[in-house]
Chain A
């Protein structure tokens, strides 16, 4: 028993150390953006895909490339343009001729066949092209000409989105948005961060990043994190938070009833629970806490809440709705606030 416990402890420490190393190594290339880096790493350890939204020039692409470097994983970049075709993403069958002048059809893999796929400006491509990623993101395989090709693990799609240019773009449909585990907002760096960026990038040599982990290590970390237990009251808390995003739910708040058209799907609850486990593990604990859930609810739910016309007209953001939900939802259901809310909702 003691050995088992020690083994687990060592493993946990390894995970923490590995993530810490990753963070540190990526930090050599990326200035600031600690929350974004943290979010991407958590997303990776949960086996999910992330959508990064930010204005151009904030290092989104550089971040993903840096991740590929430190993880010794094959990365590919897809620049989404309006004329991009699905075959440009997943690949296509081509007719090739060998040395003996014999022709054959061979499947040429597309850029999606990588461990880390950077889908740059995903909202610029047509929905048809966007949907080409759906199967890959969800099933981790693609089908071309009736033949299924599996994608190697770990597989992670990191998509970027530019919130400025709305003309000539194709906003991601809710179904595709829901497939992203996290949506991370890349903010503008501070003055000191900009100064450091300039220092690093305007000198002669760019930093070289060391490989910290590989795909197998990432897979082990993912499996280890999934074993972290979550207590029933914490799980119920996550469920009530997700249900509170639905306007017709008894757990909903006044804000969600007024401004939300559609709430989060059960994928939102999955993201909260999985990410909570990873956060707990990185925090040195072997249980998920209420704080862990509250910490990752923003990236996990902000892209899964659809506002109604009134919400959009009044400029309400999903972050504001999430904050209101966190304020109004008690941690346990035996508190008076929770019972009063349910009573009100029942009378309605």
Chain B
């Protein structure tokens, strides 16, 4: 039997079509709202990308990134807007509410789908259709600009500014200037040597300055400073060292004779527990070791019983009192040495060409402290600057400071091992600089005791014996580091060993 459609429902089709029309507009407006929100997000991301492009190398231009994001956003919003369906009832309810129709349309729509018979259904549906006929989609869903719409123009303007204007942001991937890095390496060596000596001799001011030098060296090597900033900081540090040393001199007064004689004895002071001081490795190999010998000018009481540290006055220490005249003088010498090295660095930095500083490469100090003494160990002549040591009464400034002409001379072949042309050092007026310690030791030996082969040949064995001796329980714990530092400075042990 043919099914006859309810005339009421047939007349209600007009209502359904109207509802669908309104629903399409609602989806379009919803998609537009999503698009505006998405654009705001994409533009913000583009701005961030543009900023990043100024400090990091991006594989794609930020403008292209932004355009791509916008395109994807538009596509996604269009799909989402089209997919969102909420049915005709929602649109009819919205029309009832917005146009104050007292739920005529939504009630009629419900009756259209109801299977219950109601005498008012037809009347209600006809009434609803007549009302809906003249209603336009924009009456039900008027256009209202999305709330984030007002953010789009400033975002676009900001994006344009960031893309077109170079803000001079530092390039995070940029490599540091070679000259700055080189100075940083040199200062790192200087700081390390100064620190080792300061710890050994209890020079607090020198130690503080050494630590600052090391910090500055790290900054230079990490490219945190440009040339001008590096030069400024070097100058400031040099001034600081100079001021400090002058202040200490003023407090101390000048007494060169006392400082020379007392500091010179340090070289000849034997070190307790050092190989050669009764160890099995030292016997029979006196010629090949740097063990303590009866050095001229040595203190008669130089031998310290095992397990004890060297006599305080012989080592230049005054039992940790850095304000003793002798200690203060050495502190001043350390400061002056550091000041000179820093000023040399400033000059070298100023003289170096931008990004192509090679003037100091051949004449610079070696890159690691180990190489300074190793230069002598290779059979080369020691530095010959016309003086075997400081003049009496003068601070023990020896050649070999970084950046000086004497340091450049050190790259030449020292002849410490050959034992020729150099008179043996009988006494020292001042403690040698770190680079000269080994040379001084060698030259202090009598000719028959000097080694006839380079240190490098037996350094490893000597170093192993040293480590074994230092580890012995007779050596107090608080002296182990002290002793190890000494042998590191003079090049027997490598830093980081043990």
Binding site for B on A (CB under 8 A): 1, 4-5, 8-9, 227-234, 280, 283, 285-292, 331-332, 334
Contacts and interface: CB of A to CB of B under 8 A. Distances in A.
B386 to A, nearest CB: 91
B470 to A, nearest CB: 70
Contacts of A227: 118-120
B120 A232 contact: no
Which 8 residue pairs are nearest across A and B when measured between Cβ atoms? A287-B107, A289-B102, A231-B107, A289-B103, A286-B120, A231-B110, A286-B124, A229-B118
Contact of B104 (A8, A232, A285, A332): A285
A130 B51 CA distance: 84
Nearest to B121: A229
Nearest to A280: B102
A112 B64 CA distance: 89
B328 to A, nearest CB: 75
A286 B123 contact: yes
A287 B104 contact: yes
Most B Cβ at <10 Å: residue of A4, A289, A291:
A289
A229 B107 contact: yes
Given A1-B122, A5-B123, A334-B90, 9 more contacts: A5-B122, A228-B120, A229-B124, A230-B107, A234-B103, A287-B102, A287-B120, A288-B107, A289-B104
Interface in B73-110: 90, 93, 96-97, 102-104, 106-108, 110
26 contacts: A4-B119, A8-B119, A8-B123, A9-B123, A229-B120, A231-B110, A231-B111, A232-B110, A233-B93, A234-B103, A280-B102, A283-B102, A285-B102, A286-B127, A287-B102, A287-B103, A287-B104, A287-B107, A287-B120, A287-B124, A288-B103, A288-B107, A289-B96, A289-B102, A289-B103, A292-B102
Nearest to A11: B119
Q: Specify which of B90, B104, B107, B118 lies most central, judged by the most chain A CB atoms within 10 Å of its CB.
A: B107
B129 interface: no
Contacts, number: 62
A332 B97 CA distance: 11
A228 to B, nearest CB: 6
Contacts of B122: 1, 4-5
A334 B102 CA distance: 19
Nearest to A6: B123
For the side of the interface on B, what is the size category?
Answer: 20 to 34
Nearest to B120: A286
B86 to A, nearest CB: 9
Nearest to B7: A1
Contacts of B8: 1
B98 to A, nearest CB: 13
A9 B123 CA distance: 8
A283 B104 CA distance: 13
B126 interface: yes
A235 B392 CA distance: 114
Contacts of A288: 103, 107
Contacts of A287: 102-104, 107-108, 120, 124
A263 B346 CA distance: 90
Contacts of A234: 103, 107
Contacts of B90: 334
B120 A231 contact: no
A1 B11 CA distance: 12
Q: Which of B106, B121, B126 gathers the greatest number of chain A CB atoms within 10 Å?
A: B106
Contacts of A292: 102
A9 B108 CA distance: 16
Interface in B110-141: 110-111, 118-124, 126-127
Interface string B313-344: 00000000000000000000000000000000
